[in-house]
Amino acid sequence: MEPKIYTSRDHHIRNDLIDPHALTVLRRLHEGGYLAYLVGGSVRDLLMRKHPKDYDIATSALPEEVKKLFRNCILIGRRFRLAHIRFRGQIIEVSTFRAGEPDKEGLVVQDNLWGTPEEDVLRRDFTLNGLFYDPLDHRILDYVGGFEDLQNHLLRSIGEPALRFKQDPVRMIRMLKFQA
């Protein structure tokens, strides 16, 4: 599946609206030869002209590779291995692109399987949280129709909703939060 690409002509996100620490992390990952994107709520919020409360980054770098690039990095989690890059009063969360095939009941039972941006987005909850933004070339990558859904105020699950809520029941609470 190829993403739909939105350039700066299609959106209004400017780098001066993005936290400088998040931009530093993205630049260093790119300089290290890795793919890296802002992802999730920060992209959604920027498109909605809101100030993001935090910044998450998805990358092709493995957690140990992220740690080698940043002295201010700690690795957390067993089930979901993440890199937290700490700045004074702020944490930028960096996750490696995830993959994972569901078992016969539709549940993902192995979490630290690394993948591609396309595989990663298919593990996310809603289309409006499945957007990748690269501030270095000002492009949004949209594999799941989240850009149009956001413009149309539509909340859609990525994948089959009943299965997605079974995989992670907290998604139901997030759905209600977004609807409110």
Catalytically annotated residue among 10, 19, 45, 56: 56
Catalytically annotated residue among 19, 45, 54, 134: 54
CA–CA distance, 77 with 20 (Å, rounded to integer) = 26
Q: What angle do CA 147, 159, 49 make, to 5 degrees?
A: 25
How many CB atoms neighbour CB 97 within 10 A? Answer: 25
Q: Is 54 a catalytic residue?
A: yes
Catalytically annotated residue among 120, 125, 142, 149: 125
Q: Give the residue numbers annotated as catalytic, written as ranges.
A: 54, 56, 125
